[in-house]
Structures are given as structure tokens and as C-alpha cells.
Chains A and B, each alone.
Chain A
Amino acid sequence: MQPELAANRTTEIDPPLALRGISKRFPGVVALEAVDLVLARGKIHALMGENGAGKSTLIKIMAGVYGKDAGTIRIDGQYVTLRSPRDALAQGIKVVFQEIALIPEFTVAENIFLERHPVDRAGSIDWPRIRADAAALFARIGFPVDTKARTGDLPVSQQQMVEIARALAHEARIVVMDEPTSSLTPTEVELLFKVIRRLTGLGIAVVYVTHKLDEVFEIADEVTVLRDGRHISTRPIGEHTHDSLIQHMIGRRIENLFPRSRSHAKGAVTLAVKNLSTKAKLHDVSFEARAGEVLGFFGLMGAGRTELAKAIVGYDPISSGTIEVDGTPLKPHDTRTGVRLGIGLLTEDRKGEGLMLDLPVQQNMSLAALGSFSRGGFVDEASERTAVQSFVDRFRVRTPSLAQLIKNLSGGNQQKVLLARWLMRGLKVIVVDEPTRGIDVGAKSEIFALLDRLAGDGLAIVMMTSEMPELLGLADRIAVLAEGRMTAMFDRDQATQEAILNAAIA
């Protein structure tokens, strides 16, 4: 502890950071409702919750990225307003996001002093001082990083250290780590933990955001659990067991929000995946999906859901294993064969990979099936319009006209258009990745009803989701992914939230 801080009486009484009654609303969603979080000097406070619990929103408020709608923030007892990340840093709060905020072309040393380059009396940047100070900071956290290295050349684990050093450079007294281990090897995790403990030794209060239970038990002093934007509990880690923590995270929710119309009658195996591995994430994943069923894949952030979705439709390379659609093998990158065999992906990234935002509904929907409307090399617009209109009617896409730009539609209606794009082409298997992301509650159940009906019509649906209710509501079978491996497969009737989350955290 620094002497001048010790002399200041208030720091011993007041917590370094106290958030009280924080609320945040986004259009149509309450992201946080009266949440409290109080940190202690030199302690590690874990922040836990399922996806959508409000963890990200809360730390973005701490980082000054979002403003709050209600509540107070106090640092050492003083009320503060955090207007920007720079402002938050000036007040002593540094958030290390998963998406690391460094300039890849700059050296490690320069990145640490990105906010303000130290200058000499003439106003020139003092490079020797930058290098020396950077090296000293790394010595303080006990993790040597080559300060002359180009930052973009370093692995994520070392870039995190650069961010931590940057926090120290600004004398941050609160460091927030957002899912820091999601792309780290076990050895790197050990090193990170050492550094984090070292931070606490410097009197820094650490917020550790994670969904990994074993990490929390290893490193945290206290745990706050959020669920659906609400504060559920704050307890010393010693008062928690594995089960109690899971219980707090999932609570008791109404199941079957989306009653199904289908019976469990299943058809032939349509998609067969055997021993699938990819370089980056997936290890030895095998499963089959049958016509007329919804196979749900659950996984927490970083479990490999999107990677699996892209691999099985042939978008991304695989390192070993086989994918067969109706007995015909599908090679990676061969999206033409994929389309011919009848497998399609409803992407989680609608804006980036799905929609052509500045084109009308009609062109967006007919894209994959254009070949079937062409006569002599020209698109027969009349038959295209007829086909598009029939899907708009069937799926009840709410749009003023087929000429409406797709970006003006709601998320739910955009999703219907994308779904129609594939079905117009004729599909046997559709892989849907987070089908309700960014879609409001009312439209969600419509999407579910639609998926349910499509399964009833004999389509095999593979659904990737991190949302428990949609999994339990829609899936006939439930597979669980953790760290790129399949850790469990349940029939709908045997699956419980506890069992699923246990398998996902393993």
C-alpha cells in the first residue's frame, strides 16, 4: 500500500468501487435492474451468470462505454460519473475486454502509453522513458514481455498482460477481466492467475468475469451472481458449493415457453458427423441428425457452437473427420455441393454474413434460389416475385412491400427472410446458430413456431444456442459442447437445466 493512500482515512473505510442500484435499459430489453456490486481492496470478486445475465452490460458501465439509467457509482466513497473509457481509466478503472484494445502495429511499450505518450521538454516523445517504464511495469506484474515486440505478433495471453500493464501505467485500482481465459492454454491460465494475484498484492480490486466454475473456486474471494439482469447473490466463495452456484445461476424458470406441435416421430438419418475436429476449436465431435427432429447444441461462450455450425455446413476447414448429408460426403469449402445436397446455415451474424442490408426483401430472399427463376440467363422477375411473395405470406414476414430495404425490417422479420432464402432453394438440413439473437420476445416465439413447423415438415434442424429456455422448449435431443468437445447428449425428457449446465461447465 502506498503511504499517501494509507494516510487518507477514507480509503480504509470506503470500498474502492461501489455500484448501487444500477439499471440499464435497451429498447425492448431491461439489461440490468437495480444491480449492486461492491469491491474490496486487494480482493478478487467473481461476476457470474449465464449468457444474457447482464455481466457484459455491467462491466461496460464500469468501463464508461455505456451510461447507466439509474443508480450510483462511488470510487473511494466519492460519487463519480464515467463518461468514456478514458474517463474511467483516469478514475482508476481498467477493463480488459476479450476484444483486446491495442494497436497491432505498435510496439508493446508504445501501446502501454497509448492514452498519452510521455514527452520531453521539447514536446518530442520520450522513447527511452517509454521503454524503461514499460519494462518496469512488466517487472511489477512479474511477467516479462518483450517491450520492443510488435503487439500484433504476440499471443492473446501476452496481449492481456500488455493491457494489465497499461492499467498499472494509469495507476488503476480496479481491474476488470472479461472472460480472460477463453482463448488461453492451461499453462497460460496459470500464469494469468499468478499475475492477477500479484495485482491483489498491490492493493488492486479485481473483478473476474467468467462462467467457468473451477476457475472461480480457484481464484475468487467473493462471487456475485446475476441472472436476467438482476442481482441474485453475493457471497464469499467459501459459502458456495458447485451446486449452489449453479442453482443461483439458473434459478427456477418456467419451462416449455414454446409448446411444440410435433410428435417425436423421427425419420431417417439426414446428417451424419463423425469424429469431426478442427485446428482451432473442435475435438472429435460425432452426432447424427434425423429428418423431422430438432437437435439442440448448448454451450457457453467459447464452447465452439459457431465453429461447429460453420464446419458442418462446409464453410470452414476441418482437420479430420467426416460430414455426410444423406450418405454423400461433404468436403470443406465446397459450399456448392453443400447447397446441392440441401444443407444451409442460418448465421448468428445476420448483418455480417447473412443480409445485404441495402437491398430489398425480394433480392435478399431469392439469392440462393436465383438459378431456379432464370430463363436463358436472365432472372424471370415475375416468377421470382411470386415465389418470394408466397414465402412472405407463409412466414408472415411483416414488410410493407417486397421492395422494402431489408435493413428497415425488425430482427425477427429479417431472420424469417433468411430462413426463407434457404427453404426456397429446397433444404434437408438447416443449421441455425443463435436463431433469436437480437430479436425481441414476441418475435422469438414466432421464430420458434416456424422452426417447429419446419421440423414437422420433415426438415432436420440443428440448433446452436446458449439460451436454456429455447433449448428446452424446442429441441428433441440436446447435445452439450464445452471447450470444443461434446460432453453430453440428452433426450429431451431426461434433460434438466442442472445436468445441462454441469456438462457445459465441465
Chain B
Amino acid sequence: MPPSLDVPAVAAAPSAVSTMLRGLFRRSEIALLISLLVVIAFFALASDTFFTTRNLANVLGQSALALTAGIGVAIVFISGEVDVSVGSIVAAVAIPLVTVMNATGSLALGMASALALGFVVGSFNGYLAAYLGINSLIVTLGTLFILRGGVYLYTGQTAIPDDVMLESFFQIGNGRLLGVIPYPALIAFALLVAFAYLMRHRPFGRQVYATGGNPEVARLAGYNVRRLKFTCFVISGLLATVAGIMLASRLGSAVHVAGLGFEFQVVAAVVLGGISLAGGRGSLLGMALGVLILSFLSNGLGMLDLATEWQLVITGGIIIAAVAFDELKRRRI
């Protein structure tokens, strides 16, 4: 079966028009897609420089980090847990990446050590949250602080430069397909398709949804709920690592302040994308649309010379409004 971003578990038969309409109405992805198009259309009209290939491609490139990490965070949310540690993971994994590359001259070894650290952090979060049952918001908040502190201690509050300057490493964050589409956007898109397929069409994904939807029912159906949740945290740690590698490539070094506040950007996009904090609900497609809406919004507002302060206020307002709308709609139904 070809990997598909198509979200419904059950495709509507042509005859069941009413079912399909009801499905569309309930699916927040449609509303998100319309919102995204409205945002793009608005800025295309309001600014001359917004709707250019170059700018649109740039926004895609910039959104790639949040998109990549957002997949993992979304999966953790769907399982009924929370992960806010990604901002520090992004910074922390750059250290083994750059230092190992500097020492060995090998991109592969550098990336392997970065992924190893991401795996360890994800496992740590997952073990405490899933197996010891400690509240995952607290656990990952703690991890967020610990890793950031560790990064500051290790680097002495400065950046570790990439001394070997491998072309392959440079290309990851800065290369463009056909000179247009940034590689990070391609990487993020490929991961999105793969994980959307995993969540929609593999038993693992459906078990994660079931676990978030009702852990007791999932347990009675014989799922290993703890292991499922643990795996979600590991996936999130690894995907945050991929985002960290792309960022390090773009920055050309391991920067101690990289990814500060990144976790909030990601969580905001995930929530805007219709993924419930309660678990069991939402889709990766919705998350991706949430990331794109926030990215285009921030880019467009910047082009209108609106101060960053106002961008923050507007973004915050939109997130609250979107989630409130979703909640009220659900109550009506």
C-alpha cells in the first residue's frame, strides 16, 4: 500500500455522501487547511515579497525543524503523555555531533553519536513517565532544564565550532533540491509521510491511539501500554535529534543557546494542529498544518514590519482561539 497522508481510517464510499460530509465537518484538518490558505492569501495580497518562490521555500525550510520534532511530540501527545524536552535535546545532541565529527572527520559517526544521545534522553523520559508513572510534564520539564544546564556547563556558555567543515554536513541544513527546495523541508516531509503511515496503517500506530483514547480499554485488549508509551518517548527523542542535526548544520556549530524556546513553538503547533492534550485524538497531518500556519504567520507578520512583540501576541491569541473553537465544536457534536 502506498504511504498516504490521507487521514481517515475508513475512506468514505461514494454512496455515503452524508457520512462523508459529516466526516469533513468534524475533521479539523479541513479547517486548518483553509486557515493556512487564508493566511497565505492574506500575506500574498498585503506584501509584495511574501508570495515569491524564494520566500515560500525559505519558510518551508524554517518550518522543517518544528515539523520534524513536532512529529515526535505529536505522537507522545496522542499516547496521552506530554514531551516538552525537545528544545534542549536540539542543543544537546549537537555537542556529540560536532565533537565526534571534529575528532574523527566522519559525519556518520557524528550523527550516530547524536542519535545515541537522543535515544538515551528519550528512554530516560519514557522510563520515568511510562514505567515509573511520574507525570510526563514534570519529567520532560526536568529533562529540559538538566540538558540545557549540561550544555552550558560543557560548552562554557559558548559555541563549539565545526572544524572539519564537511560538505555533506553543510548540505544537510543548507542544500537545496534544484536550488529551490531546502533539504530540511524534504527530510521533514519524508519523515512526516513515513510516520503518518505508521500512525494510520500499522498496528503500532493504532495501538498508540487506543492507549491515548482509553488506557484501560487498551490494557484489557492486551496491549503493553507502558512499552507503547516508552516507545513514543524514544521516537520523540530521536526526531528531536534529527531536528538538532539540521540546526547544527545550518549554524555550522554546536551552539549553547540553540533551540531556546523551541519546545513551546512545537507544542503550540501540535495543539493548534488539533492534537488533544488528553490523548487519542488528532493527526500528524493536522500537526503539520499547525506548524505551517504558525511559520507563515510569523514570516508574513515580519514582512509587514510588525514588531516581534506583536507577532507573539497574535500567535498566542490564535492558538487559544483555535483550541477554544475546536472544543466548543466538539461539545456541540
Seen from chain A, the residues whose Cβ lies within 8 Å of a Cβ on chain B are: 84-86, 101-107, 109-110, 114-117, 119-120, 122-125, 127, 131, 146-150, 153
Q: Are A85 and B220 within 8 A (Cβ)?
A: yes
Partner of B19, one of A86, A104, A120, A148: A148
Partner of A127, one of B10, B26, B221: B10
- B187 interface hit (Cβ, 8 Å): no
Q: Are A106 and B203 within 8 A (Cβ)?
A: no
Bits for B192-220, please: 1 = Cβ < 8 Å to A, else 0.
00000100011100100110011011101
A119: nearest chain-B partner, CB-CB: B203
Bits for B1-41, please: 1 = Cβ < 8 Å to A, else 0.
10000000111100010010000001000000000000000
Q: Which residues of A contact B16 (CB under 8 A)?
A: 148
CB distance from A10 to the nearest CB of B (A): 28
Q: Are A124 and B209 within 8 A (Cβ)?
A: no
- B280 interface hit (Cβ, 8 Å): yes
CB distance from A89 to the nearest CB of B (A): 8
Given A103-B209, A110-B9, verify A124-B221 contact (CB < 8 Å): no
A152: nearest chain-B partner, CB-CB: B213
Q: Which residues of A contact B19 (CB under 8 A)?
A: 146, 148-149
Seen from chain B, the residues whose Cβ lies within 8 Å of a Cβ on chain A are: 1, 9-12, 16, 19, 26, 197, 201-203, 206, 209-210, 213-214, 216-218, 220-222, 280-281, 333
Q: Are A110 and B221 within 8 A (Cβ)?
A: no
Q: Which residues of B contact A131 (CB under 8 A)?
A: 10
Partner of A106, one of B9, B12, B197, B222: B9
Given A105-B281, A125-B203, A148-B12, 5 other A-B residues pairs in contact with their CB atoms under 8 A: A106-B9, A106-B213, A107-B9, A117-B206, A125-B206
Give the 6 A-B residue pairs with the shortest CB-CB distance, closest first.
Answer: A86-B222, A103-B213, A117-B203, A85-B220, A148-B10, A114-B221
A56, B197: Cα distance in complex, Å: 41
CB distance from A172 to the nearest CB of B (A): 14
B2: nearest chain-A partner, CB-CB: A124
Given A105-B280, A120-B1, verify A125-B210 contact (CB < 8 Å): no
A150, B330: Cα distance in complex, Å: 13
A114, B280: Cα distance in complex, Å: 14
A446, B163: Cα distance in complex, Å: 80
Q: Are A103 and B210 within 8 A (Cβ)?
A: yes
Partner of A105, one of B202, B213, B222: B213
CB distance from A449 to the nearest CB of B (A): 38
Q: Are B217 and A124 within 8 A (Cβ)?
A: no
CB distance from B276 to the nearest CB of A (A): 9
Partner of B222, one of A104, A107, A115, A125: A115
Q: Are B206 and A110 within 8 A (Cβ)?
A: yes
CB distance from B32 to the nearest CB of A (A): 18
Q: Which residues of B contact A117 (CB under 8 A)?
A: 203, 206
B281: nearest chain-A partner, CB-CB: A105
B210: nearest chain-A partner, CB-CB: A103
CB distance from A118 to the nearest CB of B (A): 9
A110: nearest chain-B partner, CB-CB: B9
A65: nearest chain-B partner, CB-CB: B220
Partner of B213, one of A104, A123, A147: A104
Interface residues of chain A: helix, strand, loop or mixed (majority): loop
Partner of B209, one of A85, A101, A105, A109: A105
A109, B11: Cα distance in complex, Å: 12
CB distance from B8 to the nearest CB of A (A): 9
A99: nearest chain-B partner, CB-CB: B216
Q: Which residues of A contact B333 (CB under 8 A)?
A: 153
- Provide 22 A-B residue pairs closer than 8 Å at the C-beta atoms, listed in order of the A residue: A84-B222, A85-B221, A86-B220, A86-B221, A101-B216, A101-B220, A102-B217, A103-B280, A105-B281, A106-B9, A106-B206, A106-B209, A107-B9, A117-B203, A120-B1, A124-B197, A124-B202, A125-B201, A127-B10, A146-B19, A148-B19, A150-B26
A448, B41: Cα distance in complex, Å: 72
Q: Which residues of B contact A106 (CB under 8 A)?
A: 9, 206, 209-210, 213
B212: nearest chain-A partner, CB-CB: A105
Q: Which residues of A contact B218 (CB under 8 A)?
A: 103
B207: nearest chain-A partner, CB-CB: A117
A103, B222: Cα distance in complex, Å: 14
Partner of A103, one of B11, B197, B214: B214
A125, B4: Cα distance in complex, Å: 13
Partner of A109, one of B10, B26, B217: B10
Q: Which residues of B contact A109 (CB under 8 A)?
A: 10
A149, B333: Cα distance in complex, Å: 14
Q: Which residues of A contact B280 (CB under 8 A)?
A: 103, 105
CB distance from B227 to the nearest CB of A (A): 15
Q: Which residues of B contact A101 (CB under 8 A)?
A: 214, 216-217, 220-221
A146, B214: Cα distance in complex, Å: 22
A85, B216: Cα distance in complex, Å: 12
Q: Are A125 and B202 within 8 A (Cβ)?
A: yes
A448, B16: Cα distance in complex, Å: 60
Q: Which residues of B contact A146 (CB under 8 A)?
A: 19
A131, B13: Cα distance in complex, Å: 12
A150, B280: Cα distance in complex, Å: 13
A146, B18: Cα distance in complex, Å: 13
A149, B218: Cα distance in complex, Å: 20
Q: Which residues of A contact B202 (CB under 8 A)?
A: 123-125
CB distance from B14 to the nearest CB of A (A): 13
- For B26, B210, B216, B280, the residue with the greatest tally of chain A CB atoms inside 10 Å of its CB is B210
- For A85, A101, A105, A153, the residue with the greatest tally of chain B CB atoms inside 10 Å of its CB is A105
Q: Which residues of A contact B216 (CB under 8 A)?
A: 101
A116, B206: Cα distance in complex, Å: 10
Given A86-B221, A104-B214, A117-B203, verify A127-B209 contact (CB < 8 Å): no
CB distance from A178 to the nearest CB of B (A): 14
Q: Which residues of A contact B9 (CB under 8 A)?
A: 106-107, 110, 127
Q: Which residues of B contact A148 (CB under 8 A)?
A: 10, 12, 16, 19
A337, B197: Cα distance in complex, Å: 56
A109, B10: Cα distance in complex, Å: 9
Q: Which residues of A contact B221 (CB under 8 A)?
A: 85-86, 101, 114-115
A115, B19: Cα distance in complex, Å: 26
Q: Which residues of B contact A114 (CB under 8 A)?
A: 210, 217, 221
A102: nearest chain-B partner, CB-CB: B217
A120, B216: Cα distance in complex, Å: 28
- For A85, A103, A109, A110, the residue with the greatest tally of chain B CB atoms inside 10 Å of its CB is A103
A108: nearest chain-B partner, CB-CB: B10
A148, B202: Cα distance in complex, Å: 19
A153, B218: Cα distance in complex, Å: 19
A101, B213: Cα distance in complex, Å: 11
Q: Which residues of A contact B197 (CB under 8 A)?
A: 124
CB distance from A155 to the nearest CB of B (A): 15
Given A102-B217, A106-B209, A148-B10, verify A124-B222 contact (CB < 8 Å): no
CB distance from B277 to the nearest CB of A (A): 14
Partner of A107, one of B1, B10, B210: B10
A147, B9: Cα distance in complex, Å: 11
A146, B333: Cα distance in complex, Å: 18
CB distance from A318 to the nearest CB of B (A): 22
A116, B223: Cα distance in complex, Å: 10
Q: Which residues of A contact B217 (CB under 8 A)?
A: 101-103, 114
A146: nearest chain-B partner, CB-CB: B19
Q: Which residues of A contact B213 (CB under 8 A)?
A: 103-106
CB distance from B16 to the nearest CB of A (A): 7
CB distance from B213 to the nearest CB of A (A): 4
A146, B1: Cα distance in complex, Å: 25
